């Protein structure tokens, strides 16, 4: 084996029925902590059993990939931006009702607890500043301008990332709203403003720190449905790579035309940039075989050199904690096969 391709999960693993019952119950913080701790121990153990060299805590403690940082905040209403999915269901973000904006909880809180359990390298997913920018309501908050909010949210996102880097792990910024932005605004003004905002956060870091920071893109994945899969990658990926990060985690296996997507990525797979392509589809119940995953990876190597390539899942398996459309068993089986397929491909590179 000349090259072992890096392979990493995106982040979330479906919560067990027991954990979900506890979340929905009226438990004390101490009782909840017992449940969360047990869920993280089991999830990390099972992720390590897949052989994955990099793991997460399965985001067992997160209400969702986007809202973990809002836990405990009192200055929110339920009436924020609505995200429609193709199957007709929606997710609604909260909206800020007063300033100042400060995180209620940081990703590093979960990371420090996971570090005590994990034997393998951890990656910590965090939410993108562009997603949180949507918390500010359409009408100006009296005494707290949008500009003041933007200063606060940028500072908080920098702090969220900085604390995780200081723990020695790599960080993944979840940017699911990127592709959605092209659907909402085909002029790409919204997407470009999102990218500028993320670069404003990233410029707080040194070039070597940015090599430990990645960006995840996907068309959304909730209740086995997406929100922006129809957006042409040709309209999106060249813009995505303007983000000043070292790693990119790109949904690919569920793309209708993978070769086209790979051709779009090819000119950006240069220098120290590493593109992790999705080789399993979390919203499909079918478990991809290791051989099939190997073939997908070798297909990708026709366009991206091994030194610029990595493999991942298309998305997390349960970005919102109440999404039980995929079982834990299916998630771990897909990850095991990804790790095996990645090893098979690496043997012939």
Using CB under 5 A, list all residues that contact Zn ion. 218, 315
Given the complex with Zn ion, which of 174 and 288 has the nearer CB atom?
174
Give me the residue label for tokens 């005494």: 143
Q: How far is the CB of 319 from Zn ion (least distance, A)?
A: 6
Given the complex with Zn ion, which of 313 and 340 has the nearer CB atom?
313
- Contact at 8 Å (CB) between 314 and 253? yes
CA distances from 333 to 43, 292, 336 (A): 13, 14, 5
Given the complex with Zn ion, which of 136 and 241 has the nearer CB atom?
241
Given the complex with Zn ion, which of 318 and 336 has the nearer CB atom?
318
Q: Which helix (H) or strand (E) element contains residue 213?
A: strand 213-217
Q: How far is the CB of 118 from Zn ion (least distance, A)?
A: 22
Q: How far is the CB of 216 from Zn ion (least distance, A)?
A: 6
Residues 191 and 196: their CA atoms lie apart, in Å, by 9
Q: How far is the CB of 114 from Zn ion (least distance, A)?
A: 20
205 DSSP assignment: S
| Beta-strand pair 54-55/121-127 | parallel
Longest dimension (CA), the chain: 62
Given the complex with Zn ion, which of 162 and 223 has the nearer CB atom?
223
Question: Would you say how long the chain is, in residues?
Answer: 349
Q: How far is the CB of 26 from Zn ion (least distance, A)?
A: 31
∠ CA 72-158-5, rounded to 5°? 105
Residues 104 and 81: their CA atoms lie apart, in Å, by 20
Q: How far is the CB of 64 from Zn ion (least distance, A)?
A: 11
Q: How far is the CB of 269 from Zn ion (least distance, A)?
A: 20
Given the complex with Zn ion, which of 76 and 180 has the nearer CB atom?
180
Alpha-helical (H) ranges within 122-269 are 129-132, 146-165, 177-184, 189-202, 207-210, 233-240, 258-265
Given the complex with Zn ion, which of 152 and 177 has the nearer CB atom?
177
Q: How far is the CB of 27 from Zn ion (least distance, A)?
A: 29
Given the complex with Zn ion, which of 160 and 323 has the nearer CB atom?
323
Read off the tokens for 77: 């209403």
Residue 280 forms beta bridges with which residues?
Answer: 313
Q: Which of 38, 225, 241, 6 is CA-nearest to residue 123? A: 6
For residue 16, the Cα-to-chain-centroid distance in whole angstroms is 20
Give me the residue label for tokens 């000349």: 2
């Amino acid at each position: 084996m000349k090259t072992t391709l890096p392979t990493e999960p995106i982040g979330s693993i479906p919560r067990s029925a027991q954990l979900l019952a506890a979340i929905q119950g009226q438990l004390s913080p101490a009782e909840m902590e017992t449940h969360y701790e047990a869920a993280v121990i089991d999830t990390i153990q099972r992720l390590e059993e897949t052989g994955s060299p990099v793991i997460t805590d399965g985001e067992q403690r997160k209400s969702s990939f986007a809202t973990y940082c809002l836990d405990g905040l009192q200055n929110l209403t339920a009436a924020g931006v609505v995200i429609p999915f193709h199957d007709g269901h929606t997710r609604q973000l909260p909206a800020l009702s007063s300033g100042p904006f400060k995180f209620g909880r940081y990703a590093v809180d979960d990371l420090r607890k996971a570090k005590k359990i994990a034997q393998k390298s951890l990656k910590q997913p965090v939410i993108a500043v562009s997603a949180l920018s949507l918390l500010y309501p359409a009408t100006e908050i009296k005494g707290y301008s949008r500009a003041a909010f933007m200063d606060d949210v940028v500072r908080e996102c920098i702090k969220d990332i900085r604390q995780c880097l200081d723990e020695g792990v790599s960080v993944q910024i979840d940017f699911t709203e990127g592709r959605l932005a092209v659907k909402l605004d085909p002029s790409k003004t919204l997407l470009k403003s999102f990218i500028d905002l993320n670069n404003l956060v990233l410029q707080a870091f040194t070039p070597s720190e940015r090599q430990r920071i990645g960006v995840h893109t996907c068309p959304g994945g909730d209740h086995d449905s997406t929100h922006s899969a129809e957006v042409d990658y040709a309209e999106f990926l060249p813009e995505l790579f303007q983000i000043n990060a070292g790693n990119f985690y790109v949904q690919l296996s569920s793309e209708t035309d993978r070769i086209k997507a790979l051709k779009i990525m090819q000119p950006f797979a240069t220098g120290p940039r590493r593109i992790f392509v999705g080789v399993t589809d979390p919203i499909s119940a079918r478990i991809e075989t290791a051989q099939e995953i190997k073939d997908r990876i070798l297909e990708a190597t026709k366009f991206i050199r091994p030194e610029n390539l990595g493999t991942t899942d298309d998305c997390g398996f349960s970005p919102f904690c109440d999404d039980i459309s995929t079982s834990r068993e299916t998630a771990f089986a897909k990850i095991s096969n990804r790790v095996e397929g990645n090893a098979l491909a690496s043997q012939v590179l």
